[in-house]
Structure 1
Amino acid sequence: MATRLLKPAIARLSLVAFLLLPPAVNGAQDADDAFLEGWERYQHYTRDNFIKAIPHFERALELDPNYARAHAALAAVYIESWWNAWLIVDGGFRGSSEGARKHLKEAMQDPTPLALRVASLMHIIAGEYDGAMAEAQRAVDLDPNDPNGYEAMARVLIRVGRPAEALDFIKRAEKLDPQSRYLLRLGVAQFHLERYEETVATMLKYSKRHTDDFQPLLYLAAAYGYLGQKQNAESAFETYNKIRVSLDRYPATSAMDQVGIYYLKDGGGANKTVYIRGCLKPDSNCRQRLWRHLRKGLP
């Protein structure tokens, strides 16, 4: 009973404040301990750690089925594994998306900034950018001391072509939680602001921390291309391809892999790096543009 009485108050705390809570009596924080075990895994942001995080969040819900933050964390794990195409559950990618929707529905019964960040991402996936921005703003308003709202807002602003505005939100997220994925958001914003040397430095730093995340490698390769560093661009694409294959994302013949194999092979040229950058614009329809261009350019 103590856990159920304590939990709603805890669930509304920022993660920073949550970590500073004193130990509870009579085992009241067992569910919280399980959550923190899972959260520690989640923050490593690799497929293996996502897999290891799930049982801890599920254990927290066994102890307290109404634990909103644990539902939100599971929703985050599932939708972000789907976004990264990391196969982590039975049922494949569909299982991940269904799991995300299920747990987000429960989490939104008592919304936290984490739940609203997940909701914002779901809107982005659906192409509903007004909804994504609204959920991100709700997260910021709900708890200005929680980094999730600022990270969500930065993501949306970059997505709608406003990277300069995203920088302030990225800085706030970093200040509140240096372990957040602010470096990825920063690197993407720098890229779209055409600050390519900074993009390279940021994405290299991020990639060392998150070795399973292939996303920064595309921006890294394109930034190298703009800087005229063809060999480094090829290396970034090669690493990207290896990660995708090892994580069962797509076979090595997918569209962006073809770009890595052919477009930066034996020359490339400014027109091809410009094209690659164009495909990384947040408002572009990348897949169709890639295939259309590949049909013309590949042997």
Structure 2
Amino acid sequence: GFLRAGDRLRVTAQLIDVLTGDILWSDRIDADASDVLNLQDEIAQKILEGLRMELSENEQEKLGRRMTDNHEAWEEYLRGRDHFGRFIFRTLSAEDCDAAIQNFKRAVELDPHFALAYSGLGACYANRVFKGLGETEDYTLAESAFSKAFSYDPNVVEARVLMVMIYMARGEKKKARAEIDLLTKQFPNEPPLFFVKGVVHRLDGEYEESLKAFERLSRLDPAARAVSAYNRARIFVYKREYDKAIAELEIGERAEPNHPMLKLFRASTYYYRGDAEDAIRLMEEVLAAHPRMDGVRPLYALFLAGAGRQEDARAQLTEDALKLAKADHDTAYWAASAYAVLGEKDLAFKWLNKAIKLGNENKPHFELDRNLDSLRDDPRFAEAMARIGD
């Protein structure tokens, strides 16, 4: 809570365990209302003292470092984080992401040395690709922003973590996995790290490790509960445990009932358990609300092809969708699956090989996915599986 009297501000803060409801720490802090940056530092320090937390050297250094002395830049940064958080955790609205980009751009205009703002800007561009909203050029913009962040602070964790996905998109899979291992040792409590760890384990077919990473994500950042849920649901679909997938999605829906990715992966769960029409209905709702999500159109094409609606399926494999598939491991695999069901083997192998090159090495799923059944007798399938791990 906040109380303001003239130029003084009283903050009453509590830290609560989201799982038990227990109050872990509480305190009352009086401060100068005009010095928000010092107030934030003081709150963070008191929380640590109250919890008697032991921090790593990297975490202590991070806590003690102020990223900007420009109050206006800091306010723009916080507004950007608010819009970005809504985009990731609640709405997946392109408008929220666009607003965050503008906030971060204004922040770096006000303070050209503001590493965290450059990182936030890069995160927006990168997540436009991850969420099926962007273009391949967004990765270039993301990498440029991350490079600026590193020039002022080489250890901005968010930027380093998301660069892993850019390495994957460039086919630098060994570099990506090595960076994940290094980051895990250096920053063991950073939520974005566990998101990317979960994704990389999923792409490697390491399902139990992926489930653990996404569970860790939701414990470190309760706002990410919906994100954790739909990613865990995907793993259970790979394992053909559809009831568990639905249970995970219901957990996410209790946290964020309108998150479009929950609906999208509920549709995917329905499709894989044999309910193509229900899957199509849900995907129609997702795309009606988010027409810019071109990256998920190949998945919709797969559902349509599976229901025998071949021309409707081909209509979803648009130039924009396939352009994004050149950069995204999942979109490429969905395109491969759709073309395989449509009986277009050459295109199916083109996109399957692209997915593998982009780091999608989910061999346990590839070997069981019925959508690829038409490819298995072709020697190119064995050749593609043999390239996994290269």
TM > 0.5 between the two? yes
1:156 counterpart (193, 200, 209): 200
1:271 match: none
Residue 164 of structure 1 deviates from its aligned partner by 0.7
1:79 match: 126
Distance 1:146 1:83, change over 3 A: closer
Letter in 2 for 1:138: L
Distance 1:41 1:13, change over 3 A: farther
2:217 counterpart (173, 194, 207): 173
Q: Which moved more, 1:156-165 or 1:184-193?
A: 184-193
1:197 match: 243
1:288 counterpart (336, 347, 353): 336
1:117 counterpart (161, 184, 194): 161
1:140 counterpart (184, 190, 205): 184
Are the aligned partners of 2:280 and 2:300 in contact in 1 as well (CA < 8 Å)? Answer: no
Distance 1:172 1:285, change over 3 A: closer
1:6 match: none
1 or 2, which has the higher strand percentage?
2
Runs of 5+ in structure 1 lacking a partner?
4-9, 88-92, 267-280
Are the aligned partners of 1:160 and 1:283 in contact in 2 as well (CA < 8 Å)? Answer: no
For residues 140 and 36 of structure 1, what CA distance do their matches in structure 2 show? 26
1:237 counterpart (283, 288, 291): 283
The answer to whether 1:249 aligns with 2:294 is: yes
The answer to whether 1:107 aligns with 2:155 is: no
Distance 1:44 1:130, change over 3 A: same
**SS in structure 2 of the partner of residue 295 of structure 1:** coil
Distance 1:264 1:236, change over 3 A: farther
Distance 1:173 1:288, change over 3 A: closer
For residues 293 and 116 of structure 2, what CA distance do their matches in structure 1 show? 29
Are the aligned partners of 2:230 and 2:265 in contact in 1 as well (CA < 8 Å)? Answer: no
Are the aligned partners of 2:234 and 2:245 in contact in 1 as well (CA < 8 Å)? Answer: yes
The answer to whether 1:62 aligns with 2:109 is: yes
Letter in 2 for 1:36: L
Answer with 1 or 2: which has the greater Rg: 2
Are the aligned partners of 1:233 and 1:264 in contact in 2 as well (CA < 8 Å)? Answer: no
Distance 1:286 1:224, change over 3 A: closer
Distance 1:210 1:112, change over 3 A: farther
The answer to whether 1:263 aligns with 2:311 is: no
Distance 1:27 1:104, change over 3 A: closer
Q: How many residues align?
A: 259
Report % sequence identity: 18
**SS in structure 2 of the partner of residue 32 of structure 1:** helix
Are the aligned partners of 2:271 and 2:303 in contact in 1 as well (CA < 8 Å)? Answer: no
Letter in 2 for 1:75: G
For residues 180 and 191 of structure 2, what CA distance do their matches in structure 1 show? 11
